[in-house]
Amino acid sequence: MTNKYCVLSLVWLLVIQIVACNANDQVFETTNHQVNDVKAENAPSILLISIDGFRWDYVDKYQPKFLTQFAQHSARLKSLRPSFPTKTFPNHLTLVTGSYPQHHGIIANGFYAPDLGLNYSLRRSESVNNPQFYKRDPIWVIAEQQNMRTATFFWPGSEAAISDTLPTYLVRFDQTIDHQIRIDTVVNWYKLPANRRPHFSTLYFDEVDSAGHDYGQDSPQLMAAINQVDTTLAKLMAQLNALDIKVNVVIVSDHGMATVPKQNYEHLPLWLKQQFMVKGGGPLVHIYQKKSQKISLSQTVSALNRQAKHYRCYQYQDLPPKLNINKSHRMGDISCLANKKWAIGFNGHKPIGDHGWDQYNDPDLSGIFYASGPNFKQNYQLETTDNIHVMPLLAHILGLKLPSNIDGKLKPMQALLH
């Protein structure tokens, strides 16, 4: 071993120790020891940040200091239209696969997959980490397979070895992790040696979504959550700007948030729970036929719709085509969709704020797209665009070859680039 190699090895070990120390042993994980190839090493860098539940108009409405300035000077969309259902896991997967939920497989935060005979729930690690549920490769999988290192500090699907591939660096979801640790970890990833540095990474914040659900619009709690994330992002950008490399920072949200009036709840008939397996509630309910019972689905749909006042039910194949969801049996043999700002279910419980309805009927459900960095124009805005097009844009910047079966295209957002 040469002296030069010894020195480089010691430097690398020291860097890893620094990153692990700053991030804490529980939140930093190296999952492989591959390095960037020459092409990947010279590619641009992208940090994709999600602020869960950040509605398209929150910057104008609440004027958070950092995000107001960032949005003004960025390449941006008037709003980012989510895919249906307008829920967290489906749309986070759409953002990184360029595919509608009916194609990437995660059609709700919780559902039954008849093709697998398994239940999926965002609260169960055994399902979230099961790659069988995921039908399309996220951008980090595509990048890793093309010899580009990636990192995820929280992102739905990133803890599953989709196509037998994990990000080079990942942090498993734990909402108790301090914001400072989050940004220190991300910045330290970009301080790694060029052959180990991730060129695509993610960061995620859930506080705004939680406050919107629990306390609603114009609440002090929502404003506090927005300001907390805003302060964290200001610190992060200051640290990124001090680096020797330039990072494209892309800030998105998965969906917006709508207020649900207290009286807007309609109970579904109890016989549904007795005769079918039922998942979901609020804006959307999934109904699955039990193997032991063969009840007429068409008659069930008719019976439900005869008594429905504020919802409508469909066999999943008959769901409105514009929603791009009627090809997935995972939606249930029957899907019941609540009217705008109404909730349906059995127990009468619903949050003050919610999302999940038809994204074309309510602009409150749209999110944000703000991007700044060497590959993006400054102070340039496009009209509202579907979120299936985000991933092809990011892949183009990184120079990645994409599979032909994704739904999104580069063209709708390409004008944001230099």
pLDDT at 2: 42
Region 239-255: mean pLDDT is 98
pLDDT > 70? residue 32:
no
pLDDT at 16: 39
Closest CA to 141 of 396, 402, 389, 371: 402
pLDDT > 70? residue 197:
yes
What confidence category does residue 194 fall into, taking pLDDT thresholds of 50, 70 and 90? Answer: very high
Tell which wins on pLDDT, 27 or 305. Answer: 305
pLDDT at 25: 52
pLDDT at 17: 39
> Which pair of structure tokens corresponds to residue 166?
């994990």
Closest CA to 200 of 135, 138, 134: 138
Region 155-181: mean pLDDT is 95
pLDDT at 34: 86
pLDDT > 50? residue 20:
no
DSSP characters for 285-325?
EEEEE-TT----HHHHHHHHHHH-SSEEEEEGGGS-GGGS-
* Structural domains of the chain in order of their starting residue, each with its CATH number: 3-259+368-416 (3.40.720.10), 265-350 (3.30.1360.180)
Region 165-183: mean pLDDT is 95
Residues 6 or more apart whose Cβ sits within 8 Å of residue 150: 139, 140, 143, 144, 167, 168, 169, 198, 199, 200, 201
pLDDT > 80? residue 205:
yes
User: How far is residue 371's CA from residue 364's CA, in Å, rounded to a whole number?
Assistant: 21
pLDDT at 121: 96
pLDDT at 137: 98
pLDDT > 50? residue 23:
no
What confidence category does residue 30 fall into, taking pLDDT thresholds of 50, 70 and 90? Answer: low
Q: What is the pTM of this model?
A: 0.93
Mean pLDDT (the chain) is: 93
Tell which wins on pLDDT, 386 or 3. Answer: 386
